A and B are shown apart, each in its own frame.
Chain A
Amino acid sequence: MRAAVMMLLIAGAARATTFYLTVAGLGGEPDYEKQFASEAAAIDRKVKQADPGAVSVALSGAQATKQKLQAALATIAGRAGAGDSLVVMLIGHGTYDGLEYKMNLPGPDVTAAELAAWIDRVPAKRQLVVNMTSASGASLAALEKPGRIVITATRSGNEKNVTVFARYWADAFADPGANTDKNEKLSALEAFRYAEDRTARFYETAKRLASEHAQLQDTGHGSGVADPSPKNGQGLLAAQFVLLPLGGQAGAVTPEKAALLKHKQELEDQIDQLKYRKAAMPAEEYQQKLTTLLVDLAKTQAELDK
């Protein structure tokens, strides 16, 4: 990911567009209706603030019908290119009858299979689908596809209580603390970890049995996992997916800056490699090498910031 972004910066290539579609489904009760719409609006607002070049559409209330959802995805499919990114975020109630997942919308509900078919038509190669409804775990199998990251708020269709995951997913867009690697880009993995952590703490603090267990799947096959890591092979794509840019736009790249950026990239790669070898190295040697690299990186960044 880092390498790809660097290439774009150095080459000054045109920025790819990210298409965001946020849907707040049927609340059933006024409080839920308001909550779902408010979470969708908060995400939409933050996206528009952080990424003016992005295309963000939020459907809520009477607008969030199956027909409009299909139309919105069809519009994106018509505008997006292969180099663009797609983010679909679903908030609300979902149901699972043992056979089929449905998201509750005003009018007819939408099934996971229908959603998957519509999203498949979007040519953007980088895709993220975040289904935050109750019972959303049951939609994972239908939605998963190579190259697509799928996040669900629940582990299965049997977790049927209203979820809180969406609240914290929306918070991740606004909390700088969610960007844990401080690289000025909120990745899908960072947002997932943030929302998952906050959700778990919510239940722990309230002394309630957790009725939702969020999952992430980005290999295109198999089950989702709660804790993506190299060990289970999940999370690599999500780590590379920029959900929200947090920093300012890069200025003009002079040859001097290009050299510094290249050096910076090399240092970052060396740091990554060093961290992977940490367990196999004497602690003192690791610390010494890490310090040297970090000091060098800091100096390089300082030069870049001049």
Chain B
Amino acid sequence: MKWFGAALALVVLAGAARAGVADQCLELRKHGREVEARECFAGLAKSADAAASAEGYWGLGRYEEANARFREALKEHPESAEIRVRWGRLLLDRFNRADAAQLFQEALQKDPKNAGAYVGMALVASAGFDAKAVEFARKAAELDPKLVEARELLAYLKLEDGDEAGAGKSADEALKLDKDALDAMAVHAAMDWLKGSLIEQQPKSAWLDRMMMVNPGYGRAYSIPAHFFVINRRYVEGIRLYEMAIKIEPTLWEARSQLGINLMRVGRGDEAKAQLALCYENGYRDSETVNSLRLLDSFKDYEHVRDGGAYLMLAKKEADLLEPYFAEVANRARAAYEEKYHYKIPGLVSIEVYPNHEDFAVRTTGMPGLGALGVTFGTVVAMDSPSGRPPGEFHWGSTLWHEMSHVYVLTMTQHLVPRWFTEGLAMYEETQAGPGWGDRAQRDDIEAIQKGKLLPVAELDRGFIRPSYPQQVEVSYFQAGKICAYIAQKWGYAKLVSMIGDFGARKTTPKVIQGELGVAPADFDKEFLAWMKQRYAEPLAHLDDWKKGAQKVAELVAARQYDEAIKEGLAIRDEFPQYVETGSVYEMVAAAQLAKGDKAGAVQELSAYAAEGGRSPDVLKKLGALEQEAGQTDKAIAALERLNYIYPEDEELHRRLGDLYLGKHEAAKAIREYRALLALNPLDQAASHYGLARAYHEANQVKEAREQVLMALEAAPEYRPAQKLLLELTK
């Protein structure tokens, strides 16, 4: 989150006189009397008291001088917690979260009851949507019941968590302490506006009127609500509010930066760049602004390809390779979702594919609980390229399928759908797209069920936005996906589609669960948990034994005690059959079987691994090779085809698939595979062009075949098979 240093609670300042002067300056600013405020700060900057002078420079925007004066102040008063807090707040304002946190911690060591330090800690935590933010803000409010900022911050944090009642209460408490608590009013205005739509209506609210009475140039009246629209994925409305914020306060750089970032999110790159560049030129250079500008600059290294209903943005270096596969999945997903959801997306869906994960990460920065692999902003999907991750780490086909579900659900509901439902439905849809697609149960998921960590459905959004333990976001994705699977199984898939409509009509989760499923949310939670316990009965009962057993199998394989490894592996494998990550029992048993020459056994084991969604390219290639060797061409093709949706950056994969398709006289698919091979710029150009020439020849595309065979021979004039084909084509 972002918080604003302007709403200062000056009781934390050292010395009543100093606080009083700074307080006056800030009050003038708060009420829109900027000229007088600057005069006031200028006077303060001249103070002999280093801390007071620092406040003055800070108020004037002369941050380096303010920083230097705070340093001096701390030398003069080395035990002061208050100076540390104020210095920390300056650093926080200037994007130095780490040093700010250090100063707040030091302040608490000096004065464990320093409410201002707890506010600082809450602000640092809230920037990363850390659950501790609320805890720290509560502590600050407890320690200093008159600290307005703590109440305002609590209101803000509670609204981020979707707790409207709690947010309203905290905002009211702040307003009781200070009738002009502008940020509390902004939280109220946000709640008013979130209930309606700002797409066609003007943002009106009694709270807005009150804020404008206090300060007609108070841009945060709009930018604070804008933040809530954005974290609820209502980007278009968020953008509108940010635009209004900078209209009345053009130097509110933080709002301008967020405007730029959100314009970029929805694909308005040029406008985004203009706003972000303006921030940068005016010294507002936080990491989000700078990284977003860099990313926008790197767009020149991408090319745009329109294919059916998909508008792909692919890095030039991998566009030729990825385009056919991405376009196929995107268009297949469009067709599938149009039929499933009875809805047509007007226009194209933009799909941005980033080979550098850091670039993708820029697209999600500042957003809580978004996917680590893909993200959807309206009809813009941004995701990692398969080349952006180590082979087998993710199934890009599933990710794109997932994001395409979001495109539909977010559009259909005008972004009003709760996080848990859109994520859960997308997770469920992945599993329906093809064999081996979709999520696999992880050990953390099983442990979450065991330890009762699954959240009630009505509170599941919290697991995405403000996780209370490290794996909670991932566990929440898993849980949400299984909830949708449970609904589809028990009540039918149509119920899920009806629920999309309900959420679009602004119904809450409890109401939708009760209305569509005829069961109270609490009862739903109980029944769902029972279903999960049945579904994962084996790992729930045997997880610890399985862990020990898997370790033993690994040791036996390493010791080449293959018979024992196979026996032990087969005995424990089905205690957690869903586990297909690195070092799965399937792989170890197959390795032992192969060492003993039992290829048929290994094929069986690795087929089970693939059926459970195993994604290791090496393992799947091994399965394909064994099946090919056994004459099971179709199965070998199926095993290798999976890899096209996992890690297509593999020459051997495309060469083998091309050969297999050619052997089956499936020329079109062979052409696709050899073209993919050539897109990887293989060292062996001659064999690759020759393969493509054969595929074109098979397809009776003589001209293309001849072109390719000549390219093969240009690279290797003595290449006998290519010479023979050339003569055949020249006849």
Residues of A within 8 A of B (CB): 176-178, 180-184, 193-194, 197, 205-207, 267-268, 271, 275, 287, 290-291, 294-295, 297-299, 301-302, 305
Contact = CB atoms under 8 A, between A and B. Distances in A.
B108 interface: no
Contacts of B389: 207
A301 B328 CA distance: 43
Nearest to A183: B718
Nearest to A275: B714
A294 B685 contact: no
A180 B683 contact: yes
Nearest to A184: B718
Given A302-B723, A302-B724, A268 B718 contact: yes
Contacts, number: 73
Given A177-B687, A180-B715, A206-B390, A291 B720 contact: no
A207 B714 contact: no
B713 A180 contact: no
B150 interface: no
B724 A294 contact: no
Interface in B682-729: 682-687, 710, 713-720, 722-724, 726-727
Given A183-B718, A294-B723, 14 more contacts: A180-B716, A181-B716, A182-B716, A182-B718, A205-B390, A206-B390, A268-B718, A290-B714, A291-B710, A294-B717, A295-B730, A297-B713, A297-B718, A298-B726
Nearest to A274: B714
Interface pairs A-B: 8 shortest CB-CB: A298-B723, A182-B719, A182-B716, A177-B684, A181-B716, A183-B718, A294-B713, A197-B683
A204 to B, nearest CB: 8
Contacts of A177: 682-684, 687
Contact of A205 (B391, B683, B714, B722): B391
Contacts of A295: 726-727, 730
Contact of A180 (B390, B391, B684, B722): B684
A21 to B, nearest CB: 27
A182 B720 contact: yes
Of B389, B686, B719, B722, chain A has the most CB atoms within 10 Å of the CB of B719
B649 interface: yes
Interface of B: 389-391, 649, 682-687, 710, 713-720, 722-724, 726-727, 730
A298 B727 contact: yes
B556 to A, nearest CB: 18
10 contacts: A177-B682, A180-B686, A180-B716, A182-B716, A182-B718, A267-B717, A268-B717, A271-B717, A290-B710, A298-B727
Contacts of B719: 181-182
B523 to A, nearest CB: 47
Contact of A181 (B649, B718, B730): B718
B558 to A, nearest CB: 11
B649 A298 contact: no
Contacts of A287: 710
Given A206-B390, A275-B714, A291-B710, A193 B683 contact: yes
Nearest to B652: A177
Nearest to A2: B718
B390 A207 contact: yes
A229 to B, nearest CB: 15
A220 to B, nearest CB: 27
A302 B710 contact: no
Given A177-B683, A193-B683, A205 B710 contact: no
A194 B390 contact: no
B319 to A, nearest CB: 18
B723 A297 contact: yes
**By CB atoms of chain B within 10 A, which of A205, A267, A275 has the most?**
A205
Contacts of B727: 295, 298-299, 302
A294 B649 contact: no
A207 B41 CA distance: 51
B717 to A, nearest CB: 5
A111 B229 CA distance: 69
A177 B686 CA distance: 9
Question: Which residue of A207, A275, A299 has the most chain B CB atoms within 10 A of its CB atom?
Answer: A207
A305 B727 CA distance: 14
Contact of B686 (A182, A197, A302): A182
- From DSSP, what is the main secondary structure of chain A's interface residues? helix
Contacts of A207: 389-390
Nearest to B729: A295
A294 B390 contact: no
Contacts of B722: 182
A294 B710 contact: yes
A73 B719 CA distance: 37
A177 B659 CA distance: 15
B500 to A, nearest CB: 38
Nearest to A193: B683
B531 to A, nearest CB: 39
A197 B730 CA distance: 35
Contacts of B717: 181, 267-268, 271, 294, 297
A180 B106 CA distance: 65
Contacts of A176: 687
B683 A294 contact: no
Contacts of A267: 717
A189 B649 CA distance: 25
B690 to A, nearest CB: 9
A294 B714 contact: yes
Contacts of A297: 713, 717-718, 723
B655 to A, nearest CB: 8
A297 B390 CA distance: 44
A178 B682 CA distance: 11
Contacts of A184: 718
A183 B719 CA distance: 7
A263 to B, nearest CB: 13
Contacts of B683: 177-178, 180, 193-194, 197
B74 to A, nearest CB: 40
Nearest to B682: A177
Contacts of B720: 182, 301, 305
A275 B649 CA distance: 30
Contacts of A275: 714
B322 to A, nearest CB: 16
B718 A205 contact: no
Nearest to A177: B684
The winner among B389, B715, B717, B730 for most chain A CB atoms within 10 A is: B717
A199 B713 CA distance: 27
Nearest to B725: A298
Nearest to A207: B390
A193 B683 CA distance: 8
Give the residue among B682, B720, B722 with the most A Cβ atoms within 10 A.
Answer: B720
B480 to A, nearest CB: 29
Nearest to B393: A207
Contacts of A183: 716, 718
A301 B687 CA distance: 18
A53 to B, nearest CB: 22
Nearest to A301: B723
A183 B723 CA distance: 12
A80 to B, nearest CB: 29
Contacts of B687: 176-177, 182
B567 to A, nearest CB: 26
Contacts of A197: 683
Contacts of B390: 205-207
Nearest to A172: B683
Contacts of A193: 683
A181 B686 contact: yes
Contacts of B685: 180
Contacts of A305: 720
A194 B687 CA distance: 14
A176 B721 CA distance: 13
Contacts of A291: 710
B709 to A, nearest CB: 9
B710 A301 contact: no
B694 to A, nearest CB: 15
A8 to B, nearest CB: 17
